[in-house]
Amino acid sequence: MSNQIDIRAYVEGALQARRFAVLATECDGQPHSSLIAITPIGGVRQLIFATYRNTRKYRNLTQNGKVAVFIDDRDNNGPALPGGFVLTALGCAQVVSADENEAVRRAHLERHPDLESFLGSLDCALFRVTVEAYQVVGAIDDVRWWRMDERVDG
């Protein structure tokens, strides 16, 4: 990757191509990871996922919203990275507000129609990750960062 514009293209492509990711949370010094179905909204700045309220994931998120979302795109070969790459979104997760819940649920359901009964459950909560930065790794010595407060032309 030669510059930030390349990073943006890879991030956008990965978020469109990959429907699942691994969410890393933490509470009281204990890390926890979970497989989640993701839906990007607002371009690359926000990721949506759902969880049941009676889970460790939910408890961790309500006590400490800082998260990492890991997306493995290594088998999706791109022109500049023949082996693919892995992507980590760092940010803060919050429960989607009641006034946005239905619109966000519809967007998530459109991308993941197989989750209809899960998303319709009264115990299901939708979360929005506001991404602060992406780390894109193409190889052991090819690690790039894209912070959302950085201007990217193009």
pLDDT in tens, the chain (154 residues): 555 557 888 899 889 999 999 999 999 999 999 999 999 998 899 999 999 999 999 999 999 999 999 998 776 544 444 556 789 999 999 999 999 999 999 999 999 999 999 999 999 999 999 999 999 988 788 888 999 987 654 4
What angle (nearest 5°) sits at the alpha carbon of residue 1, between those of residues 12 and 8?
20
Question: What span, in angstroms and rounded, lies between the C-alpha atoms of 87 and 128?
Answer: 18
Look up the pTM and report it: 0.87
**Domain 4-146, architecture per CATH:** Roll (2.30)
Max intra-chain CA distance, the chain: 47
Alpha carbon of 121 to those of 21, 40, 48, 125: distances in Å? 22, 22, 17, 9
Beta bridge partners of 7: none
